Amino acid sequence: MLDRVGRATQNFFEYAGGLTLLSAESAGFIVRLRIRIAETVSQCYLLGVQSLIIVLLTSLFTGAVISLESAQQAVQYGIGSLVGAAVAYASVRELGPMLTAVVVAGRVGAAIAAELGSMVVTEQIEALRSLGLEPSRFLVVPRLTAMLIMLPLLTIFADVVSIGGGMWIAQTYAHISPDTFLSSARQAVGFEDVIKGLTKALVFACIIAMVGAYQGLSTRGGAAGVGQSTTGAVVLSIILIFISNFVMSFLLFGGK
């Protein structure tokens, strides 16, 4: 048992150290502006634009469900004017950034890990190194930069669509006018809350990109290893998103 605990501890610190080193190396290239613009734009489309539909659908029905449940109770107690505040508060502070990150992690994290893992298996990474090229700059930095750009934008779309879906349900189900709904939402959520939600999105973007990239670059064992790396990237990204969401919610909103 002690041997298993020791091996697990060693593997944990090896993984954490490798992920930290890859993140620091990639951040160094970004700070020095050694970014491949064309590849970054391509990754913005592949990782961000192509994720838009599933993010919008998830956010639409999430906002609708929140509005449906809160409107049912609010109308019963005569406080229907607070439904807009409940939907906006939950969407902008928590569900918008977190659900967007979880949905994107399931699609983008898996795609990054699978693509880089396949390149490792087919020895394309070794070919880059033999040419004197840094895999982190050519493969990781464009994906990390694209995620840092696109995930906050996706979060903004998710917030708007979630509030819009909640407003539609509130009007249809509880006969709450759009003006009352939006007025309540504006009173509950300020610009500072939006900025803090986007700060969460930036942290989530780093988690998704770096975990996916590290899992892919650590792939061993052929096609089976690619599958394991892909699964591990999605699972670990989602776990870290939930953990970091709690920590940031405590730090950003704990006193309010």
DSSP 81: G
CA angle (139 as vertex; 137, 144 as ends), nearest 5: 80
Distance from C-alpha of 235 to C-alpha of 110, rounded to nearest angstrom? 10
Give the relative orientation of helices 178-188 and 83-90 as an angle to the nearest 10 degrees: 50
165 touches 67 (CB < 8 A) = yes
- Percent helix, strand and coil across the chain, each rounded to 5? 90, 0, 10
Q: What pLDDT is attached to residue 255?
A: 52
CB atoms within 10 A of CB 246: 11
Residue type, 154: L
Residue 215, C-beta contacts closer than 8 angstroms, at least 6 positions apart: 113, 116, 117, 229, 230, 232, 233, 236
| End-to-end CA, the chain | 45
Which secondary structure element, helix H or strand E, spans residue 51, and what is its range? none
Question: Is the per-residue pLDDT at 227 higher than 60?
Answer: yes
Rounded CA-CA distance 138/129 in Å is 11
pLDDT at 201: 93
Q: How far apart are CA 12 and CA 14, in angstroms?
A: 5
pLDDT at 72: 72
Q: pLDDT tens digits for 27-49?
A: 998 988 888 899 899 999 988 89
Provide the mean pLDDT of the chain: 87
Confidence check: pLDDT of 80 > 80: no
Predicted TM-score (pTM) of this structure: 0.88
pLDDT digits (tens, 9 = 90+) for 3-20: 888 888 888 888 888 889
Q: What is the pLDDT of residues 95-140, one digit of tens each?
A: 889 999 999 999 898 999 999 988 888 888 888 888 777 888 888 9
Mean pLDDT calculated for residue range 202-227: 89
Q: What is the mean pLDDT of residues 161-173?
A: 86
